[in-house]
Amino acid sequence: MNESLARIPQFIAHHPLLIGAFVVIVLALIALEGSRHFRGFKELTPAGLTQLINRDNALVIDLSPQADFEKAHVPGSRHVAKDQFDPENKELKKARELPVAVISRNGVESEKAARRLVKAGFTRVYVLSGGIEAWRRADLPLAKGRG
């Protein structure tokens, strides 16, 4: 063990590009995790969203296009067109203290909406990681129609 530790400086001296790449990757991972921690909302798995709905009566907002929402959505979710999503809406403001979960087809639009909710003062904001497709892959029930 001591012999291996003694060879570390020699390895570093002979492989500066490898060490540099390692340092860059470690710093990138730290930055990514740091940004996740401080963004103000949390990502949920489908199972986590199910628990949030059942235990805390979460408001679930689906930003999918209307046609996609009517084909399949999380039971109990409310459809809001992404271009009409407004965290300052009177109805939505009433839910400021409730947990609010945002869903989109693949999760990209829901993260943008979650940032807007946090900025508007919502304290318990969640995003379904992977969107409705993750819900479908988890083989959880889907509702059809306008909701």
- Does 28 share its domain with 76? no
Which candidate, 135, 131, 114, places its Cα nearest to that of 46? 135
Residue 49 and residue 6 share a domain: no
Structural domain tally of the chain?
2
Q: What does the pLDDT look like over 69-93, one tens digit per residue?
A: 999 999 999 999 888 888 887 777 7
Which residue segment(s) compose the domain that 11 sits in?
2-37
Q: Specify whether 27 is located in the same domain as 83.
A: no
Q: What is the mean pLDDT of residues 6-21?
A: 89
Give the pLDDT confidence of 91-141 residue by residue, as tens digits: 777 778 889 999 998 777 898 899 999 988 898 999 999 999 999 999 999
Whether the model clears a pTM of 0.85, i.e. scores above it, the answer is: no
DSSP string, 26-68: HHHHHHHHHHHHHSS-EEE-HHHHHHHHHHH--EEEE-S-HHH
One domain, residues 74 and 27: no
